[in-house]
Amino acid sequence: MANEIKQKEANQNFQSKYGLKIEDMFNVGLHLGHIKSKWNPKMAPYVFIVRNGVRILDLEKTMVKFEEMLDFLKKSVSEGKKILFVGTRFQDKDIIKELAEKTGMPYVNNRWVGGLFTNFGIIKKRLKYFCDLESDKQKGNLGKYTKKERIMFDKELARLEKFMGGIKALEKCPEIVFIFDTIKDVYALREARKSGSAITAVVNTEANPAYCDYFIPAGNNSLTALKYVAEKMGEALKNR
């Protein structure tokens, strides 16, 4: 398989303005889809071969779609639009947070915040409460309460930080969402679709790419694969 990928790259003489290389994508596992029985037929155009019961993605097509998505995101950010990064799986959490902080974007890496797209007015009020409570603690304004009440406030702040810390600075509904796994974070996908926000994502062989405006057909279970995607996105958006 490695030789086939390398030969394909050599034959096509690939050039990428974002530094994408098929050999690198192969080495981190972006070609690895799910088992043969676990798939969505709409991903068929992006499958290279089935080997040992596993669908192998066509990395030439992966690179083309990856570049299209990066072009879109880079242009959107240059226009002042916000990208909400979403990844609530265990393997996504730290990567999503680091990517968001590197690019100055909001993120959700724990439980999805229901209504973030479809009822942002309510979410904004909750965020104001969060920021006001945090400010009151920093200024010492909570000293007038009893010890028991202050403990309750601390627990509330810790809970708000865990679930809403990544979106604390949001002033309006994000224009774009990027999702590491549209199956796990289907609620984020559904809300973004209802609100009309652009959807970008990594789409593995079991998911439906038709729900996305831009997507990377790639394996998204390997930690090295996720880090590679985040690294390339971070470089592209940081150098906008």
* Residue 134 CA to its chain's centroid (Å): 27
Using CA atoms, how far apart are residues 16 and 76, in angstroms rounded to an integer?
20
User: What are the backbone dihedrals phi and psi of residue 183, each rounded to the nearest 5 degrees, phi first?
Assistant: -80, -50
Give the E-state strand segments of 29-136 in sequence order. Answer: 32-35, 47-51, 54-57, 83-86, 107-108
What pLDDT is recorded for position 212? 97
Beta strand extents in 46-135 (DSSP E only): 47-51, 54-57, 83-86, 107-108
Q: Would you say residue 8 has pLDDT above 60?
A: no
Q: What is the pLDDT of residues 109-156, one digit of tens each?
A: 999 999 999 999 999 999 999 999 888 888 888 778 888 888 998 899
Q: CATH topology of 2-117+173-238 equal to that of 120-167? A: no
Write down the domain spans for the chain: 2-117+173-238, 120-167
Tell me, rounded to whole angstroms, the distance of Cα 42 from its chain centroid.
21
The Cα–Cα gap between 99 and 114 comes to: 22
CA distance 230 to 75: 17
pLDDT at residue 61 greater than cutoff 80: yes
The neighbouring-strand residues paired with 83 are 176
7 pLDDT above the threshold of 50? no
CATH architecture of 120-167: Orthogonal Bundle (1.10)
What pTM does this model have? Answer: 0.90
CATH says 2-117+173-238 is which class?
Answer: alpha beta
Per-residue pLDDT tens for 70-104?
999 999 999 999 999 999 999 999 999 999 999 99
What is the per-residue burial (b if ≥16 Cβ within 10 Å, else e) of 39-66? bbeebeebbbeeeeebbbbbbbbbbbbb
User: Whose CA is closest to 219, among 96, 85, 38?
Assistant: 38
Please, which pLDDT band fits residue 54 given cuts at 50, 70 and 90? confident
